[in-house]
Structure formats: C-alpha cells, structure tokens
Amino acid sequence: MILLGKILIVEDEQAIVDLILMGLRSNGYKVDYALDGEAGADFIMENHYDLILLDIMLPKFDGYELLEYAKQEKIPVIFITAKSELKDRVKGLNKGADDYIVKPFEMEELIARVNSVLRRYKGTIKLPNITIDTKTHEVKKGNVVVRLTPKEYDLLIYLIENAGNILTREQILASVWNKEMEDTRTVDLHLGRLRKKLGLDTVIKTLPKVGYLFEV
Ligand code: CA
C-alpha cells in the first residue's frame, strides 16, 4: 500500500459510490461510504477519516452541513459536484472545502486529487522502509536520511502519485521535467539513481519497450 489513508464517501448515487470505492480500494485506501447526509454525519462522529469525498445534493443533511462536521474534526474535504453546480463549487471552496471534482470524472483524476490533498495534510508519506516528509522533502530509508536531488524527489513523488499505472518515459519527462529536457534517457538515468539510493529495485519495475511501473 502506498498512501495509507481512510476515506469516507458521502454520495447518494450508488453507481458513483461503487465506482469510487473500486478505484480507491485498488489504490490501497480503506473506504467507508454513506448514502445520505445523516448517515455521513454518524460515520464522521464515530470514526477517524483522513479525507471525505462529499456530494453536495444529499438527502437529509446536505454537503454544506456535513462540511461543518468535517471541519470540526479537521478532516479535509473534496466536493463531488455536478457540472451545473458552478455556484456550489465556489461556495464549497469559500466554506473551506479543499478541492472539488466535477461529475463525470476520470478515476485517475480523482486519485490524483485525493493524493494531493492527503499529502498537504498528512505531511508524510510512508512506504515500506521509506518515509517521506512532504513539507521538508526529507526522505529516509529506515532511519537514515537519503539525500535526493530536487528532480529525484519530484520523480519519486510523481511515481508514488501514479502508483499502479504504467508510465511511459515521455509521460514522466513531460510531467517531471516539464519540457526542460527532451532526451528520455534522462528518465532512465534518474530512475536508476532513485532505485539505487532507496533500494527500490523491485518496486520500480521496468517494462521493456513500454516504460515504468511503480508497484503498489
Ligand atoms: Ca447527489
């Protein structure tokens, strides 16, 4: 598992709940869900969550009311909104939601937003034997600090955020180097360094002629 976290979904459309459940669980998250606002409030009061995915239009309590519960418990919230709810998105952010995502959405985008919000809040990412402090960018292998260059650090975070997805060299280059470099061998070199420094030989897989895979 990569970013250990427990997430609550409050959404009244079962099909959307099922979709999000599947996506989050396959990415290593623990997930509970509630189909109305009142059940959602109960879950928030009775459990500890790292993040809540919150629909706005809900039976019983609506998303804004639940946001108050979440804020009281200092749990970050991502609103799930319909396209037509532009006003609601603005209102949600003004009231303290951390982000929003518009239905229908791609699972990859949702996972990226979830990871990003969790990283801001949690401050640390834990992998087996590796700890990353996302505020200071300090990376430890066991108890030993490993010095990474800024690019190696960015690359590591990018791999983690896309764990379980096959990444081509071109994708990695475009996201991490942002077109400063054109030679995809740069990616191979840096990945080689990361593997060596952090002992990630078995975690970062090379897929011949395809690219790389950071295994969950
Ligand atoms: Ca709804």
Q: Which residues contact 25 (CB under 8 A, 6 or more apart)?
A: 31
How many angstroms separate the alpha carbon of residue 9 from the centre of ligand 1?
Answer: 12
Judged on CB neighbours under 10 Å (0-12, 13-18, 19+), 55 is buried
How many angstroms separate the alpha carbon of residue 35 from the centre of ligand 1?
Answer: 9
Q: How many CB atoms lie within 10 A of CB 120?
A: 13
How many angstroms separate the alpha carbon of residue 166 from the centre of ligand 1?
Answer: 33
Band the pLDDT of 196: cuts 50, 70, 90: very high
Band the pLDDT of 1: cuts 50, 70, 90: very low
User: Is the whole-model pTM more than 0.85?
Assistant: no
How many angstroms separate the alpha carbon of residue 28 from the centre of ligand 1?
Answer: 26
pLDDT tens digits for range 138-173:
999 999 999 999 999 999 988 988 888 899 999 999
How many angstroms separate the alpha carbon of residue 175 from the centre of ligand 1?
Answer: 34
pLDDT tens digits for range 24-74:
988 878 899 999 999 999 999 999 899 999 999 999 999 999 999 999 998
What are the structural domains, with CATH classification, of the chain?
5-121 (3.40.50.2300), 124-214 (1.10.10.10)
Q: Which residue has the higher pLDDT, 172 or 119?
A: 172
Query: How does DSSP assign 12-38, residue by residue?
Result: S-HHHHHHHHHHHHHTT-EEEEESSHH
Q: How far apart are CA 57 and CA 52, in angstroms?
A: 15
How many angstroms separate the alpha carbon of residue 30 from the centre of ligand 1?
Answer: 22
Evaluate if residue 215 carries a pLDDT over 90: no
Q: How do beta strands 30-34 and 6-10 pair?
A: parallel
Q: Which two tokens stand for residue 52?
A: 């809540």
Residues with Cβ within 5 Å of ion ligand 1? 12, 55, 57
How many angstroms separate the alpha carbon of residue 58 from the centre of ligand 1?
Answer: 5
The count of C-alpha atoms lying within 13 angstroms of the C-alpha of 46, restricted to the half-sphere facing its C-beta, is 8
Q: Which residue has the higher pLDDT, 91 or 204?
A: 204
Please give the C-alpha separations between residue 10 and each of 21, 22, 78, 98, 196, in angstroms, as whole numbers: 11, 15, 11, 16, 42
How many angstroms separate the alpha carbon of residue 42 from the centre of ligand 1?
Answer: 18
How many angstroms separate the alpha carbon of residue 156 from the centre of ligand 1?
Answer: 36
The per-residue pLDDT for 2 is 45
How many angstroms separate the alpha carbon of residue 10 from the centre of ligand 1?
Answer: 9
The per-residue pLDDT for 114 is 92
How many angstroms separate the alpha carbon of residue 73 from the centre of ligand 1?
Answer: 23
How many angstroms separate the alpha carbon of residue 65 from the centre of ligand 1?
Answer: 14
